[in-house]
Amino acid sequence: MDQTIRPDSIVPGARPRRRWALLLAIVLVACGGSSSDVATSNPDAAGSGAPASGTGPTASGPTPPPATAAATLPRWSVAFTDPDGRATRQGLSPGTGLLAFTAPTDQGPRARFFDGQAVHELVDTAATAVAVNEAGQVAGHFQSESNTDLFRWEARTQTTTNTRLGSPPDISSTAQAINAGGVITGNLSARRNLPGSAIRWTPGAFLPQGLAELDPAPPANSTGLFINTAGAVAGVSDAPGDQVHAAFWRAGAADVLDLGTLGGAASAPAGLNDADQVAGQSSDAQGNERAFLWTQGTGMRDLGTLGGATATANALNASGWVVGTADTADGASVAFLWRDGAMRALGTLGGRASAASAINASGLVGGNAETATGVPHAFVWTEATGMLDLNDRLSGPGPGVLQTVIAVADDGTVLATADGGTLVLLRPASRP
């Protein structure tokens, strides 16, 4: 059924115990951002502890780029809006910007898919759409009062496959991500709201593959949050000592690698690329949150800060570039880009705070930043242009003030939110 209706919000993740890293990781994926995604000034944000590597630039607004530099960016036009909707970070396909979302109705949430021309309702029952790939395969889960049931929907055939296949009715499964081959990762539990295990579901398989936890003692809990093209999974798992650590499951294998921490009790991933690099955040020995980049060869690397005590990674691209938010020496919280071993501040739009939440393969960064009046506006950033207000790059009327960027596809498609939480899909309207 095709209708032009609205997307929705709620994307339930796995049902973890009360551990901050596991909760944080699932919130990051479900909301398409992080705790620092809405830029707010906080003079006390630096906390305590000695600054790590990195410089300490101020958070004052950047010098406006010359007009010739701004001209290297396209202008964007509005392709789709929904005043009530929310989409997950992985609800935007990474290459060409197909959109999976969920719409509230009187009969409950409905999973939907926007192919650039029309909106498709995936199933005629309560369901949530979580992620989509370039083939138009949508991962999500059916919802009932007692459980959730993972499904995959195919745009090509307009059909849905789910994982119940005769499973006991109290088994719950949720989707978190889908890769280019249609393989899904998420969580499977004995009952809704109880601890469960990370899973990898391959097309054609009778049941999802259960993935090992770091802590073998029940009731251990784990969740797959990201999956790359080869099928490797990054997520979180309970670890011995009442800790929660970022975890990595190799492609095709169920055994788990502990990514460890930076000296604290918890870590969580924020992104995974096809080079098996994982970005995320970890507590250090002083209890500060720090951004990290992990590889199998180097282990977990602290990315430093901008002169303060804390940093949060929000996204990772194919080249291993990481974006997020870090404290400066004067206590501001500013968007950063980490690449080639160095962290740099991306500035603001005139205020004291900003947060980078997305980056594509070419290095186009999106996020939000305070203006001189303290109002958050969505921004885009490139090496050539610096930080620009996305509201100033629209080719026609917008749906209100664009406030933050959720995701950026490799073709330049931007998923953002505007006033009141309106979901907005923007397509490049012109090229320089």
26 pLDDT above the threshold of 80:
no
List Cα–Cα distances, 11 to 4, 29, 293, in angstroms: 21, 9, 26
Reply yes or no on whether the pLDDT at 288 is more than 90: yes
Give the chain's domain count. Answer: 1
| Band of pLDDT at residue 130, cut at 50, 70 and 90 | very high
H or E segment to which residue 378 belongs: strand 376-382
Predicted pLDDT at 193: 60
Do the domain assignments include residue 7?
no
Among 77-86, 259-268, 363-372, the minimum mean pLDDT is found in: 77-86
DSSP string, 241-305: TTEEEEEEE-TT---EEEEE-BEEEEEEEEEE-TT--EEEEEEETTS-EEEEEEETTTEEEE---
CA-only gyration radius of the chain, Å: 20
More confident residue, 313 or 212: 313
Which of residues 339 and 46 earns the better pLDDT score? 339
The arithmetic mean of pLDDT across residues 176-203, rounded, is 87
pTM, two decimal places? 0.86
Residue 294 has pLDDT above 90, yes or no: yes
Label residue 158 by pLDDT band (50, 70, 90): confident
**How would you classify the pairing of strands 243-249 and 322-328?**
unpaired
317-356 per-position pLDDT tens digit: 999 999 999 999 999 999 999 999 999 999 999 999 999 9
Least Cα distance to 92 among 403, 406, 398, 399 occurs for 406
**pLDDT (tens digit per residue) in 159-188:** 888 655 345 567 888 999 999 999 999 999
Domain CATH code at residue 279: 2.130.10.150
Scan for tokens 């944080």, then name that residue.
Answer: 24
Which tops the pLDDT comparison, 100 or 72? Answer: 100
Mean pLDDT of 225-251: 96
Give the pLDDT band (50/70/90) at residue 19: very low
The answer as to whether 1 is a domain residue is no
In the predicted model, is pLDDT for residue 199 greater than 90?
A: yes
- Mean pLDDT across the stretch 83-99? 92
Measured between alpha carbons, how far apart are the two ends of the chain, in Å?
Answer: 38
What is the average per-residue pLDDT within 132-147? 91
For residue 368, pLDDT beyond 90: yes
- Mean pLDDT along residues 390-419: 96
- pLDDT score of 38: 53
**Residue ranges making up the domain that contains 186:** 20-430
Q: Which residues contact 418 (CB under 8 A, 6 or more apart)?
A: 81, 398, 399, 400, 401, 402, 403, 424
Identify the pLDDT of residue 204. Answer: 81
pLDDT at 168: 57
pLDDT of residue 431: 59
The answer on pLDDT for 47 being more than 90 is no
Look at residue 350 and tell me if it is in a domain. Answer: yes
In a domain, residue 2? The reply is no
Structural domain includes residue 13? no
> Residue 252 CB: number of other CB atoms within 10 A?
11
- What is the structure's pLDDT at 206? 74
Check residue 203 and give its pLDDT.
83
Residue 72 domain-assigned (yes or no): yes
Closest CA to 59 of 370, 291, 341: 370
Question: pLDDT > 90: what percent of the chain?
Answer: 63
Q: How far apart are CA 31 and CA 36, in angstroms?
A: 12
pLDDT tens digits along 112-127: 999 999 999 998 899 9
Which element (helix H / strand E) includes 368?
strand 365-371
- For residues 3-17, give the mean pLDDT: 27
Statement: residue 253 has pLDDT above 60: yes
Residue 25 has pLDDT above 70, yes or no: no
323 belongs to a structural domain: yes
Strand partners, 257: 248
Highest mean pLDDT among 33-42, 50-59, 196-205, 371-380: 371-380
Res 14: pLDDT = 28
Which pLDDT band, with edges at 50, 70 and 90, does 15 fall under?
A: very low
Q: Of 373, 218, 286, whose CA–CA distance to 389 is shortest? A: 373
Does residue 145 lie in a domain region? yes
CA distance 4 to 57: 46
Mean pLDDT of the chain: 83
